[in-house]
Amino acid sequence: MSLGLGMQPLRLKRIFIIGLIFGVYHIVFPVLGMFIGHLVSDNIGHYTTLASGVLLIFIGSHMFFTAFTEHLPQNKRSFKYTNIGILTLGLSVSIDSLPIGLSLGITGVQTVMAILLFGSFSTFFTWTGLLIGRKVKGFLGSYSELLGGSILVSFGIHMLFIT
């Protein structure tokens, strides 16, 4: 997903912040999952996947279709990532970590180390995907929004129908 997002015009500071937000969410949700009971976790797991898939399809579709709007200037064509938008996107792609926290608590894994590693790797791979997407955009030019949108829609469809 971060590869598709990286094809948008993002400054390095914004890439850094997005990676941190995704990493923090991937720490917070497993911890919350440990404190939430098994019954609640099973009931909301399906809805979090549904919400994540719909959001990814929405953002990807917006990117895809705005690539065809030639009459708008380049800086107004792309999807604008506001702070609340980034927080919501981070929430939607990370909330499925809630049941993972529950299973970590049940299995007796060294929870603190596992969760810190989970958050660190999420941050690192988000940064990596965003930076690779940024470089690929330079090679693809105007087709990068089509590819980025297609990637996000594909992940959203995968979350809705395959997972």
Q: How confident is the model at residue 8 (pLDDT cuts 50, 70, 90)?
A: confident
Please compute the mean of the pLDDT values over residues 48-60 and round it to a whole number.
76
* 154 or 100: which leads in pLDDT: 154
Q: Mean pLDDT check: name the lowest of 83-92, 134-143, 149-158.
A: 134-143
Residues 6+ apart with CB under 8 A from 150: 4, 60, 64
Query: With 50 as the cut, is the pLDDT of residue 86 above it?
Result: yes
Q: H or E stretch including 144?
A: helix 143-157
Contact present, 56 and 3 (Cβ < 8 Å)? no
Q: Residue 120 and residue 123: Cα distance in Å, rounded?
A: 5
User: Which residues lie below 8 Å from residue 149, measured CB to CB, with a gap of 6+?
Assistant: 4, 59, 60, 61, 62, 63, 64, 65, 67
> Which helix (DSSP H) or strand (DSSP E) does residue 91 occupy?
helix 83-94
Determine the 3-state secondary structure of 8 from DSSP: coil
**Residue of 149, 147, 139, 130 whose CA lies nearest to 9:** 130
Range in 11-15, 67-71, 85-89 the model is least confident about: 67-71
Rounded to the nearest integer, the mean pLDDT of the chain is 76
* pTM exceeds 0.75 for this model: no
What number of residues does the chain have?
A: 163
CA distances from 64 to 11, 67, 151 (A): 21, 6, 10
pLDDT at 14 over 80: yes
Reading the block at residue 122, the tokens are 């999420």
Say if residue 124's pLDDT is above 90.
Answer: yes
Residue 78: the pLDDT is 47
According to the model, what pLDDT value does residue 93 have? 76
